[in-house]
Amino acid sequence: MYVLKFTKAAVENIKGLPKNTRNALRRELERVVAIDPNACSDPLTGPLAGYRSYHFETHRVVFRVFEDLKAIAVVGIGSKSTAPGIYERLEKLAYSGKLAESVLSTLRLFS
């Protein structure tokens, strides 16, 4: 089983969800993603290479798996229908280096 860690941006994304969706998503992440993150998700390409996307109802959850730590860093959650999409927002952060910084900061708390 993997430990789920959330960047500050991902926490803000979660807070913006309706309570019933937030609770259902938490249960789904613990029940499915934390058990086998690679089998339940799709790898991303381009600037988000190394990250994975899990689709839950009308949302996408973007994360990176750290096998050596048995940890998952969730970097963003977004609606499939919202523009700009979660991928576009995260790509901008990746280009600037801020996405890697936020993941590193989140993992530093993991010890």
Report how far residue 47's alpha carbon sits from residue 40's, in angstroms, rounded to the nearest whole number. 21
So what's the pLDDT on residue 88? 87
Read off the pTM.
0.88
Report how far residue 76's alpha carbon sits from residue 45's, in angstroms, rounded to the nearest whole number. 16
Q: What are the structure tokens assigned to 73, written together?
A: 């860093």
So what's the pLDDT on residue 23? 92
Go through the domains of the chain in sequence order and give each one's CATH number.
3-108 (3.30.2310.20)
So what's the pLDDT on residue 84? 65
So what's the pLDDT on residue 107? 77
| Average pLDDT per consecutive 10 residues, the chain (111 residues; last block may be shorter) | 92 91 92 95 93 92 92 90 79 87 78 54
So what's the pLDDT on residue 104? 82
